[in-house]
Amino acid sequence: MAGGGFAVDSPITNGFDGKLTFSVIITCIVAASSGLLFGYDIGISGGVTTMVPFLQKFFPDILRKAAGADVNIYCVYDSQVLTLFTSSLYLAGLISSLAASRVTMTLGRRNTILLGGVIFFMGGALNGGAENIAMLILGRILLGFGVGFTNQAAPLYLSEIAPPKWRGAFNTGFQFFLSFGVVVAGCINFGTAKHTWGWRVSLVIAVVPAAVMTIGALLITDTPSSLVERGKIDEARRALRKARGSSIDVEPELEELIRWSEIAKSVEQEPLKTIFERQYRPHLVMAFAIPFFQQLTGINIVAFYSPNLFQSVGLGHDAALLSAIILGIVALASLLVSTAIVDRFGRRFLFITGGICMFLCQIAVSTLLAVSTGVHGTKQISKSNAVLVLVLLCFYSAGFGWSWGPLTWLIPSEIFPLRIRTTGQSIAVGMQFITIFILSQTFLTMLCHFKFGAFLFYGGWIVVMTIFIIFFLPETKGIPLESMYTIWGKHWFWSRFVKEEAGQQNLP
């Protein structure tokens, strides 16, 4: 494979039957529905912050600013308190994701998903009844704790329960439900925007996906890997039989899981210390780099603030909310493309083609805004150019939907050995949250000062991350989790840290 990656000519197999069963499909759908929580929040927060009754109650200064005669179109929503409403969730998510490693290891993947759903439910109820900024922010913090737990546990669950041959497709289910949550939230915002109580309905409906996911989680078992890790061998055997089918002899696979678990437990060193060992350097770099780069595509900023952005460039309130729905539908459709081809063409192919598409769209959006609004952003953009901005962002959203959207959840969840898997996932989720927090807290101010240059900023980062993928990410498609160590020993750069022959002897 070009650019220093390594192609797997004949995927490594462990000899276990990886056929699809009805139980696996239903279980993965339930676990993936955890993405609804994150997606609903992403979609709902941006639309609510454009609703006049919401702004009148909590942010009246923004309405006064919007009514000004000489307002800069890029600066209407430049308010640190408003951005704190959005970004406080991600700061809370960062804190909970750091704790989630221990929780996931102790309670299991399934119980951590349950815990996240209950906390998110409480946050949605509090937000819907908020009477002041303090209640609003507290509700957002609870939502963040819930999302932190589910974002940590659900991708792990999916990677551990799915057959290796279809692991990529099943793991994209998390991003599918996330994108579906964005679309549903946009539709609800569009329907409630004209009512004085509409913002309350939009916020309180967050309890519905939380309830659906929590009830569903009660009906599924934990992953065999997690059960073995916690010494529940009989339950792990039953879970394997349910997942693989009653006609399959699961004892060899169970013995393999037990062997890896015993090797991992034979070393008393803390996983947080272990992950910083030289042999795990490539894993650690990916845990930091992949989620960091995902956010620097600018996608969540577009998702959070697309109604604000489209309203600022002249589409009007209803059209701005409708545009956010359109972006969500495009992302959802492109994700289906990713699900269909990720295990055929591989992760690297999707990363690279998505990066090229997003980069071209960011450059085009920046150029169009510069020409239409002027250097200082004081000219009014025409309706036709505003629609063209929407079209370009749809292509951008599609590029993200088949690449960095689903693959950011997939890669960290599949590359770590068992002994540091929950720690690695926590680092990846924590890195994502801290990056989202910083970017969401600063985007509206950056948009005000950089104007159209904000899109050039993200375009530049897309170039950097695409080059990173070309040179430093090996292909992982079709490789069982227990054999994943082999990809680093064959890589042109990472082999100096991880020798393939050492992987045969070292801990999993």
> How far is it, in rounded angstroms, from Cα 394 to Cα 167?
28
- Give me the DSSP letters along 211-231: HHHHHHHHTSPPPHHHHHHTT
* Confidence (pTM): 0.78
* Both tokens assigned to 120: 């998110």
Half-sphere exposure of 256 (CA within 13 A, CB side): 14
Neighbours of 360 (CB within 10 A): 16
Residues 144 and 150: their CA atoms lie apart, in Å, by 10
Question: Tokens representing 49?
Answer: 């912050």
108: DSSP letter: -
Stronger pLDDT, 64 or 471, i.e. the higher one:
471
Q: What torsion do the CA atoms of 237, 242, 246, 251 make, to the nearest 10 degrees?
A: -20
Q: What is the mean pLDDT of residues 350-364?
A: 94
Between the ranges 14-23, 73-82, 262-271, 487-496, where is the mean pLDDT highest?
487-496
Tell me what pLDDT residue 12 has: 41
- Exposure letters 454-492 (e unless 16+ CB within 10 A, then b): bbbebbebbeebbebbbebbbbbbbbbbbebbbbbbebe
What sign does the CA torsion over 239, 245, 250, 254 have?
A: negative
- What is the average per-residue pLDDT within 360-379? 77
Helix crossing, 317-345 with 299-312: angle to 10°?
A: 160
pLDDT for residue 7 is more than 50: no
Indicate whether 503 pLDDT > 50.
no
Task: Name the more confident of 129 and 59.
Answer: 129
172-224 tens-digit pLDDT: 888 889 889 888 988 898 888 888 888 999 999 999 999 999 999 998 889 88
Identity of the highest mean pLDDT range in 198-212, 231-245, 448-462: 198-212
Per-residue pLDDT, 301: 65
Residue 358 has pLDDT above 90, yes or no: yes
Residue 291: the pLDDT is 93
In order of their start, the domains of the chain are: 22-505 (1.20.1250.20)
Residue 259 Cα distances to 206, 225, 252, 420, angstroms:
42, 11, 11, 16
Burial of 246 (0-12, 13-18, 19+ CB in 10 A): exposed
Band of the pLDDT at 375, cuts 50, 70, 90?
Answer: low
How far apart CA 427 and CA 421 sit, in angstroms, is 10
- Tokens for 301? 């900023």
Average pLDDT on 359-388 reads 77
Q: From CA 480, how far away is CA 487, in angstroms rounded?
A: 11
> Comparing C-alpha atoms, which of 165, 218, 212, 128 is closest to residue 18?
165
Least confident of 106-110, 485-489, 504-508: 504-508
Alpha carbon 329 to its chain centroid, in Å, reads 17
Tokens of 294: 């995902």
Calculated CA dihedral for residues 62, 66, 69, 71, nearest 10 degrees = 80
pLDDT higher than threshold 90 for residue 51:
no
User: Mean pLDDT over residues 53-82, rounded?
Assistant: 70
Q: Is 36 helix (H, G, I), strand (E, B) or coil?
A: helix
When pLDDT is cut at 50, 70 and 90, the band that residue 347 belongs to is very high
Whose tokens are 């997690």? That residue is 226
In this prediction, residue 408 has a pLDDT band, given cuts at 50, 70 and 90, of very high
More confident of the two residues 70 and 412: 412
Query: Over 50: is that where the pLDDT of 76 sits?
Result: yes
